[in-house]
Amino acid sequence: MLGTTIRCFVFLTLTFIWISKSASAANIQVGEGGDCELFLSGSIATGDAGQLDDLIESRRLYGRTRLCLNSRGGDLNEALLLVDVIRRREISTIVGRNAICESSCAIVFLAGVTFSDDMTRFDRVISPSARVGLHAPSLIVPEGNFDSETVNRAYQIALRSVVELSQRLLDRGISERLLMRMLLTPPESMYYIDSIGQAIEYELQLDNYTVFEGSIDAIINNICISAEGLTRATSSPWTHMTGVYSSRPVDQLSATEFEVDGFLNEASYSCNVRFATPNERTRNNPSYLGTVSFGVRLPSGEFGGEFGRPLEITNLMTFPAEFPISSLDNYDGQAVEEFLAALSTSSRFSDFSCARNGDLVVVNVNEFVNIRTGPSLRHPIVTRANLGERLTSTDRHDWWYLDNFRGRQCASICERVEGTAALRQAMTSCVEDAQIWQQVRNSREQEGFVSVRFLLPVE
């Protein structure tokens, strides 16, 4: 009697509550076009994992394969077997438009992965109109009278079972924070992932790739707040998402770089947001937005003392964390390309920079400056440019730096350009030290390089 009771306790501990009129297996089909190659709907039951594996093998779905889910759950043990198939086969998971994925189905969904750039990454997409929810396994006590020894032994076994289940889920893609949320949600309730902040926190993708339709200051603050939550890596990093945190002043350092003070460790770190340049977007992917990191601004003007690693900015990070996922359905936001292009028109950005573009005049010399074949004093002289002589830059947006430690340091500073007194002073020092050079052409069509120190744009 004792052994049977304990086994009942253990079995029921690992059971998700889900009431269904049918105990039949889920319906697993091959998709005909659309977003997914495979579809799983209905109650998850014994045999589903084998059916999915056999279907993949028989249809030879060896490339990128996506599984669409629409299920309120079912057998947890079978769901864990489905997770194993998904991880082994590297299958992406999607909860599509108006679909529901609850209970053990959500466990299956969270296993979604894809293989790219020689590594396996999470690939789990939610449609804004879908619902994904989890809850704790149930413990149903059978009727009867039990002595304290039986209850205590069953309790200990139940605890060990929950620990084993937790470890299995952690090993299969569910984050520690989401696991805690799941275990704290009563079996008769449901914890829904329904906000942008939750999707970011649990590393989920949403079927929406636009940027928040708000001011640049609001977008920068949203990015920094989301990044701070991820960097803290606490069990509840999203508790500080509103109020003063959403309206901190933003410094614009260049056309693509911004900084906000007052984050992490007693608000002692700055949040540095660097958006992608056109070349970086081409090299990475068209939707690449840039990176965000935390550090301190050094007296030299450089950004250092980083806290944690830089994070890649996603379009979701541009939204307020409390923004409902459902509100993204048909949301008319900004395309990534449009948003990044608009940054260059910011009125706060000073044109003062390391580059000298357009028509130029020779200054800061007694009589002349040498035009050289390369950007340093070591290169041969092409010709002279007299004080006051007009030159034209041949690179409209580029400048050159000396190939040494100081030159590389100045290149980093010049990329940041303007926004704080420390940065401007550091950049001016680089120019005066002749670390930055411009490629120019004279009226006789002779080309070469001149230190930016000796050039000014013609007004």
Lowest-confidence range among 71-85, 128-142, 236-250?
236-250
Within this chain, do residues 97 and 33 fall inside the same structural domain, yes or no? yes
How much is the pLDDT for 1? 39
Give me 403's structure tokens: 């190939």
3-state secondary structure of 365: coil
- Domain end, chosen from 158, 178, 193, is at 193
316 and 411 part of one domain: no
| 106 closest CA partner among 172, 29, 34 | 172
Residue 150 makes CB contacts below 8 A (sequence gap 6+) with 2, 5, 6
- pLDDT: which is higher, 230 or 6: 230
My answer on whether 316 and 444 are in the same domain is no
Q: How far apart are the first and last CA of the chain?
A: 96
Q: How far is the CA of 54 from the CAs of 36, 61, 67, 392, in angstroms?
A: 17, 10, 14, 68
Tell how strand 303-312 and strand 290-297 pair up: antiparallel
Same domain membership, residue 327 and residue 266: yes
Do 118 and 6 sit in the same domain of this protein?
yes
Higher-confidence position of 334 and 6: 334
Calculate mean pLDDT across residues 270-296. 82
Q: What is the mean pLDDT of residues 80-97?
A: 93
Q: Measure the CA–CA gap between 230 and 226, rounded to whole angstroms.
A: 6
Same domain as 111, residue 84: yes
Distance (Å, whole) CA 148 – CA 112: 43
pLDDT band at 459 (very low <50, low <70, confident <90, very high): low
Here the contacts of 137-145 (C-beta below 8 Å, separation 24 or greater) are: 137/13, 137/14, 137/15, 137/16, 137/76, 137/162, 137/165, 137/187, 138/12, 138/13, 138/15, 138/16, 138/17, 138/187, 139/9, 139/12, 139/13, 139/187, 140/12, 140/15, 141/9, 142/5, 142/8, 144/5
When comparing pLDDT for 139 and 92, which is higher? Answer: 92
pLDDT band of residue 448 (cuts 50, 70, 90) is very high
Residues 314 and 176 in one domain: no
Give, for 155, the enclosing helix (H) or strand (E): helix 148-171
Looking at residues 93-110, what average pLDDT do you find? 94
Q: Single out the residue of 178, 133, 191, 193 nearest to residue 328, CA to CA.
A: 193
Which tens digits make up the pLDDT trace of 294-326?
A: 988 776 666 777 787 889 999 999 999 889 999
Residue 64 reports pLDDT greater than 50: yes
Assigned domain for 76 exists: yes
Q: Would you state the pLDDT for residue 333? A: 84
**Does 430 fall in a domain?**
yes
Same-domain pairing of 338 and 364: no
Q: Place 144 in a pLDDT band, splitting at 50, 70 and 90.
A: confident
What per-residue confidence (pLDDT) applies to 243? 36
172-218 pLDDT, tens digit each: 778 888 888 998 999 899 999 999 999 988 889 998 888 998 888 88
State the average pLDDT over residues 244-256.
Answer: 69
pLDDT bin (cut points 50, 70, 90) of residue 293 is very high
Nearest CA to 223 among 190, 191, 246, 207? 246
Dist CA 99 CA 41 (whole Å)? 9
pLDDT at 344: 58
pLDDT tops 60 at residue 449: yes
- Over 60: is that where the pLDDT of 244 sits? no
Pairing of strands 390-393, 359-362: antiparallel
Answer yes or no: do 43 and 130 share one domain.
yes
Q: Span 73-95, mean pLDDT?
A: 92
In a domain, 118, yes or no: yes
What does the mean pLDDT of the chain come to? 81
> If you average pLDDT over residues 142-161, what whole number do you get?
78
The structural domain count of the chain equals 3
Q: Which domain holds residue 269?
A: 216-343
Q: Map tokens 């690693």 to a residue.
A: 309
Please tell me whether residue 40 adopts helix, strand or coil conformation.
strand
User: How far, in Å, CA of 280 to CA of 152, rounded?
Assistant: 61
From the list 43, 153, 154, 51, the residue with the least C-alpha distance to 101 is 43
- Domain boundary among the residues 161, 193, 225 is at 193
Give pLDDT, residue 22. Answer: 40
CATH classification of the domain holding 372: 2.30.30.40
Q: Which helix (DSSP H) or strand (DSSP E) does residue 308 occupy?
A: strand 303-312
- pTM for the full predicted model: 0.68
Residue that is last in its domain, among 318, 343, 368? 343
Residue 69 lies in a domain: yes
Q: Which amino acid belongs to residue 61?
A: L
**Can you tell me the distance from the alpha carbon of 135 to that of 190, in angstroms, rounded to the nearest whole number?**
5
pLDDT surpassing 90 at residue 82: yes
| DSSP code string of 443-458 | TT--EEEEEGGGEEE-
| Domain assignment present for 198 | no
Domain match, 17 and 64 both: yes
Match 């779905």 to its residue by tokens.
61
Q: Say how far apart CA 72 and CA 44 lie, in whole Å.
A: 8
Rounded distance between C-alpha atoms, residue 268 and residue 414, angstroms = 25
Residue at 325 is within a domain: yes
- How far apart are alpha carbons 334 and 75 in whole angstroms? 42
What DSSP assignment string belongs to 104-134? HHHHHHTT-EEEETTEEEE-EEE-TT-EEEE
The burial of 9, by beta-carbon neighbours within 10 Å (0-12 exposed, 13-18 middle, 19 or more buried), is given as buried
> Do 332 and 367 have their domain in common?
no
pLDDT single digits (tens) 322-351: 899 999 988 888 888 888 877 755 544 444
Quick one: which of 386, 390, 391 has its CA closest to 367? 386
In a domain, 98, yes or no: yes
Could you tell me if 363 and 293 lie in one domain? no
Domain membership flag for residue 206: no
**What CATH number is given to the structural domain containing 94?**
3.90.226
Report yes or no: 413 and 257 within 8 Å, Cβ to Cβ.
Answer: no
